[in-house]
Structure 1
Amino acid sequence: MNDAIEVSELTVTYGATVAVDRLSFTVGFGEVVGLLGPNGAGKTSTLETIEGYRRPTGGSVRVLGMDPGAKQALLARQMGVMLQEGGIPARMTVHAALGLYAKFYDHPEPIDELVARLDLGRVLKTPYRRLSGGEKQRLSLALALIGRPRVLLLDEPTAGVDPEGKAAIRELISELRAASVAILMTGHELEEIDRMVDRVLVIDHGIQRALGSPGELRQRFGGEGVEFSSDDELDLTVLARRIGAPIQPVRPGRYRVEAEATTQLLGHLVETLSELGIRAHEVATVTASLEDIYLQLIASPAATLPEDDRVSIPDQVESAPTVSARDADSNGVTPSSREARPILAQATSEVKMTLQQGEAALLTLVIPVLGLLVFGSVKFLPIPAGVPSRVNFILAGAIAFGIMASGMVSQSITVAFDRNYGVLKRLGVTPLGRGGIIAAKLAQVVVLELIQLVVLIIIATIMGYHPEGNPLVFLLGWVLATAAFTGLGLLIGGTLKAELVLGLSTLLWLLLLGVGSMAVPLTSLPGWLALIAKVLPAAGASEMILHGLAMSASVPVWAIVNLVIWGVGAPLLAIRFFRWS
Structure 2
Amino acid sequence: MTRTPSAPPAVEAHGLRRRYGNARGDGFTAVRGLDLTVAPGELFALLGTNGAGKTSTMELIEGLARPTAGTVRVLGHDPYRERAAIRPRIGIMLQEGGFPGDLTVLETVEGWARSSSTPRPAAEALELVGLGDRARVRVKQLSGGEKRRLDLAVALIGRPEVLFLDEPSTGLDPQARAAVWQLVRELRAEGTAILLTTHYLEEAEELADRLAIMHRGRVVTSGTVAEVIAERPARISFDLPEQPGSPALLPLPDAEVAFAGRRVTVHTGELQRTLTALLGWAAEQQLALPGLDARSATLEEAFLAIAAEPEPAGDAEGGSEPATPTPAPTRTRRLIGARR
- TM-score (structure 2 length as normaliser): 0.78
Corresponding residue to 2:266 among 256, 259, 264? 256
**Which residue of structure 2 aligns with residue 142 of structure 1?**
153
Corresponding residue to 1:227 among 237, 243, 248? 237
Q: Identify the structure with the greater helix proportion.
A: 1
4+ long deviations beyond 4 Å? 229-232, 250-254, 269-275
Correspondence list, 1:433-472, <5 A: none
Change over 3 Å in CA distance of 1:92–1:219 after alignment to 2 = same
Aligned pairs, number = 295
- Distance, in Å, in 2 between the alignment partners of 1:172 and 1:49 is 26
- Is 1:55–1:69's contact at 8 Å kept on the other side of the alignment? yes
1:88 counterpart SS class = coil
1:183 counterpart SS class = strand
- Distance, in Å, in 2 between the alignment partners of 1:103 and 1:300 is 48
**Which residue of structure 1 aligns with residue 144 of structure 2?**
133
1:67 counterpart SS class = coil
**Which residue of structure 1 aligns with residue 72 of structure 2?**
61
**Which residue of structure 2 aligns with residue 467 of structure 1?**
none
How far has the Cα of 1:121 moved from its partner? 2.5
- Is 1:211–1:304's contact at 8 Å kept on the other side of the alignment? no
- Is 1:2–1:28's contact at 8 Å kept on the other side of the alignment? yes
Corresponding residue to 2:296 among 275, 287, 297? 287
Change over 3 Å in CA distance of 1:250–1:51 after alignment to 2 = farther
Change over 3 Å in CA distance of 1:103–1:8 after alignment to 2 = same
- Distance, in Å, in 1 between the alignment partners of 2:285 and 2:209 is 40
Deviations 1:93-112 (A, max 9, x none): 21111111111112212333
**Which residue of structure 1 aligns with residue 320 of structure 2?**
none
- Is there any run of 5+ residues in structure 1 with no aligned partner, and where? 233-237, 306-581
The sequence identity of aligned pairs, in percent, is: 37
Corresponding residue to 1:182 among 193, 199, 209? 193
Corresponding residue to 1:5 among 8, 11, 20? 11
- Distance, in Å, in 2 between the alignment partners of 1:97 and 1:78 is 20
Corresponding residue to 1:29 among 40, 43, 48? 40
How far has the Cα of 1:226 moved from its partner? 2.4
How far has the Cα of 1:148 moved from its partner? 0.4
- Is 1:243–1:269's contact at 8 Å kept on the other side of the alignment? no
Correspondence list, 1:373-452, <5 A: none
Change over 3 Å in CA distance of 1:230–1:91 after alignment to 2 = farther
Correspondence list, 1:474-553, <5 A: none
How far has the Cα of 1:160 moved from its partner? 2.0
**Which residue of structure 2 aligns with residue 158 of structure 1?**
169
- Distance, in Å, in 1 between the alignment partners of 2:62 and 2:327 is 27
How far has the Cα of 1:274 moved from its partner? 6.7
**Which residue of structure 2 aligns with residue 299 of structure 1?**
308
Corresponding residue to 2:98 among 74, 87, 92? 87
- Is 2:106–2:123's contact at 8 Å kept on the other side of the alignment? no
- Distance, in Å, in 2 between the alignment partners of 1:84 and 1:281 is 47
Q: Identify the structure with the greater strand proportion.
A: 2
Corresponding residue to 1:98 among 109, 121, 130? 109
Corresponding residue to 2:253 among 244, 247, 263? 244
- Distance, in Å, in 1 between the alignment partners of 2:284 and 2:235 is 16
- Distance, in Å, in 1 between the alignment partners of 2:286 and 2:326 is 37
Change over 3 Å in CA distance of 1:217–1:124 after alignment to 2 = same
- Is 1:227–1:286's contact at 8 Å kept on the other side of the alignment? no
How far has the Cα of 1:267 moved from its partner? 2.6
- Distance, in Å, in 1 between the alignment partners of 2:277 and 2:96 is 48
- Is 2:10–2:40's contact at 8 Å kept on the other side of the alignment? yes
How far has the Cα of 1:247 moved from its partner? 3.2
Root mean square deviation of aligned Cα: 2.7
- Distance, in Å, in 2 between the alignment partners of 1:297 and 1:251 is 25
- Is 2:163–2:194's contact at 8 Å kept on the other side of the alignment? yes
How far has the Cα of 1:293 moved from its partner? 1.2
- Is 2:239–2:290's contact at 8 Å kept on the other side of the alignment? yes
- Distance, in Å, in 2 between the alignment partners of 1:160 and 1:99 is 24
1:267 matched to 2:292? The reply is no
- Is there any run of 5+ residues in structure 2 with no aligned partner, and where? 1-6, 22-26, 243-247, 311-324, 329-340
- Distance, in Å, in 2 between the alignment partners of 1:272 and 1:40 is 52
How far has the Cα of 1:257 moved from its partner? 4.3
Deviations 1:520-549 (A, max 9, x none): xxxxxxxxxxxxxxxxxxxxxxxxxxxxxx
Paired residue type of 1:224 = A
- Is 2:61–2:72's contact at 8 Å kept on the other side of the alignment? yes
1:191 matched to 2:202? The reply is yes
- Is 2:271–2:296's contact at 8 Å kept on the other side of the alignment? no
Change over 3 Å in CA distance of 1:295–1:93 after alignment to 2 = same
- Indicate the structure (1 or 2) with the bigger Cα radius of gyration: 1
How far has the Cα of 1:265 moved from its partner? 4.9
- Distance, in Å, in 2 between the alignment partners of 1:300 and 1:105 is 45
With a CA cutoff of 8 Å and minimum separation of 6, indicate the structure with the bigger relative contact order.
2
- Distance, in Å, in 2 between the alignment partners of 1:46 and 1:304 is 25
Correspondence list, 1:209-228, <5 A: 209-221=220-232, 223-228=233-238
1:19 counterpart SS class = strand
How far has the Cα of 1:113 moved from its partner? 2.7
How far has the Cα of 1:249 moved from its partner? 3.6
